Amino acid sequence: MNLKSVLVAATTTAILGWASTAGAAGYTSATSVLTGGSLIDFEDLANGTLVDTQYAGVTFSQTPGGGRPQIDEAPAIFGYGFSSGSKALTGSTEGGVTFDTIAGINVAFGAGKNAVEFFFSDTAPLGDYSVVFYGLGGAVLETVTLSQASILPAGYSGGVFPAPGTFPLPGLFVGYTSAGNDIYGIGIGPGAASNDSFAIDDLRFAAGGGVPEPATWAMMLMGFGGLGAVLRRRSRVALA
């Protein structure tokens, strides 16, 4: 490959590499999409524990009511699916919210993330749920609507109280990926229908990646300039 081809290839790769990290999108999936990073599976806390700051760099709360979500262990109070183990986090009536409203769950990160994902479960969905991903200062980055029909997968027959390990899982993975570390929170639910409870499991998050900083672009352009200078010198030699 000659230097001109190398220069073109390097430029194209840089542009495509930037484009691949410049997007941001929310998603739902029947299986987990993210790998690596940090994982909170809630298996280390006892059944009934009210959760707020037990996990470093992550704070949990409820809306409405300002209470704390609680750990629920199978057999669950309302029946949930578990993407791993036998414990999940729920905004149930036991977590400080007066019946008949089942609270939503808020997750706040102490530092920005560029990818987050969790497993959402409701084995008897009464309506749709909204999941909102927030940036710094509460700016809305993305809203993902979980329809009643999408929460229970085709072929699910585990009933309202599924045993751990039930397949297919009664729920789905919900996530958001961003170009930069600008994800600072998640608002999950509550559902629009009265008494519609849900749980989350396997919260995974990571920081890293992102669009190249200006200094990085400067170094890349200097490198391309050097390649161009070499290419021009070779061209002059060839013409002499």
pLDDT of residue 42: 97
Residue 233 pLDDT grade (very low, low, confident, very high; cuts 50, 70, 90): low
Confidence check: pLDDT of 55 > 90: yes
Give the pLDDT confidence score for residue 224 in this predicted structure: 44
The structural domain count of the chain equals 2
Same domain (yes/no): 64, 181: yes
pLDDT tens digit sequence for 178-226:
999 999 999 999 888 877 889 999 999 999 864 443 443 344 445 445 5
Mark whether 7 and 48 lie in a shared domain.
Answer: no
Assess whether pLDDT exceeds 80 at residue 143. Answer: yes
- CA triplet 37, 205, 59: central angle to 5 degrees? 125
Going by pLDDT thresholds of 50, 70 and 90, the confidence category of residue 231 is very low
Same domain, 127 and 59: yes
Both tokens of 64, joined, read 């409405």
Please report, as a single letter, which amino acid is at residue 12: T
Is residue 62 predicted with pLDDT exceeding 50? yes
Q: Are 79 and 133 in the same domain?
A: yes
Q: Out of 25-29, 91-95, 178-182, which region has the weakest mean confidence (pLDDT)?
A: 91-95
Give the residue numbers spanning the domain of 47: 31-209
Q: Is the pLDDT of residue 237 over 80?
A: no
Query: Which pLDDT does position 96 carry in this prediction?
Result: 53
Same structural domain, 58 and 175:
yes
Q: Please give the average per-residue pLDDT across 88-114, as a whole number.
A: 80
What's residue 37's pLDDT? Answer: 96
Q: What are phi and psi of 185, to 5 degrees?
A: -170, 165
Which pLDDT band holds residue 232 (cuts at 50, 70, 90)? Answer: low
The residue ranking higher by pLDDT, 225 or 19, is 225
- Kindly state whether residues 3 and 121 are assigned to the same domain: no
What span, in angstroms and rounded, lies between the C-alpha atoms of 23 and 160? Answer: 38
Does 131 share its domain with 154?
A: yes
- Please indicate, yes or no, whether residues 202 and 218 belong to a single structural domain of this protein: no
Take residue 80 and report the two structure tokens written for it: 């949930």
Kindly tell me the sign of the dihedral angle through the C-alpha atoms of 21, 25, 26, 29.
negative
Residue 90 CA: distances (Å) to CA of 15, 51, 222: 43, 10, 53
Does one domain contain both 125 and 45? yes
Q: For residue 59, what pLDDT band results from cuts at 50, 70 and 90?
A: very high
**239 plus 137 within the same structural domain:** no
Residues 198 and 231 placed together within one structural domain of the fold: no
CATH of residue 69: 2.60.120.200
Residue pair 88/151 in contact by the 8 Å Cβ criterion: no
Mean pLDDT of 141-167: 88
Cα 189 from Cα 148, distance rounded (Å) = 13
Highest mean pLDDT among 7-16, 21-30, 68-77: 68-77
201 shares its domain with 140 = yes
